[in-house]
Amino acid sequence: MRIYLGSDHAGFELKNAAAAHLTSLGHDVTDVGPHVYDAVDDYPPFCLETGRLVVSDPGSLGVVIGGSGNGEQIAANKVAGVRAALAWSKDTAALGRQHNNANVVAVGARMHEEAVALELIQIFVDTPFSEDPRHQRRIDMVAAYEADPRGQVLPAEPKKV
């Protein structure tokens, strides 16, 4: 599987470890950057580009890594077609794929020991989408909003309480 990796300075070392780990498992890995450690770099360009590459390469996955993973997930999710999930446990790593067909995983390098973070990434990569119709229906609802944010969202008007 082709996997794109992007990070910032806080995720730089884990990104490099993830690249080596995923390559050793036979995956086709592309390092989006950064390619050198820079203590003051910013995550948005690397996460946005990771998302763009994933969307332009159907069937691929992306991994974005920062200190907490939160900003990286937010940035990746700004790319139309990205469904980025923040993995902070084995269950969230698996459920992001099973229920949401997430195509990008965000991991916080400062939140986990390296071995645990690599395990979360591997669980995400190894877990297939369940293809359950109720989960696909929900994904389709989000995609419809993404395509037309002015369209109807709720089936009825909100009720003042």
Mean pLDDT of 31-56: 98
pLDDT at residue 71 tops 90: yes
Instruction: Show the domain range for 124.
Output: 2-147
The count of structural domains within the chain is: 1
Return the higher-pLDDT residue of 132 and 157.
Answer: 132
Q: What confidence score (pLDDT) does residue 12 get?
A: 98
Strands (E), the chain: 2-7, 28-33, 61-66, 84-86, 104-108
Domain membership flag for residue 154 = no
Domain membership flag for residue 159 = no
Mean pLDDT of 83-101: 98
pLDDT at residue 156 tops 90: no
Instruction: Select which of 13, 99, 119, 135 is catalytic.
Output: 99
Q: What confidence score (pLDDT) does residue 33 get?
A: 98
> Alpha carbon of 100 to those of 42, 114, 136: distances in Å?
27, 25, 8
Domain membership flag for residue 157 = no
Domain membership flag for residue 13 = yes
Task: Determine the Cα–Cα distance for residues 73 and 66; give it in Å rounded to an integer.
Answer: 9
Is there a catalytic annotation at residue 99?
Answer: yes
Domain membership flag for residue 155 = no
CATH number assigned to the domain comprising residue 51:
3.40.1400.10
Instruction: Select which of 9, 49, 72, 112 is catalytic.
Output: 72
Task: Determine the Cα–Cα distance for residues 98 and 47; give it in Å rounded to an integer.
Answer: 22
pLDDT at residue 152 tops 90: no
Domain membership flag for residue 62 = yes
Domain membership flag for residue 153 = no
Domain membership flag for residue 161 = no
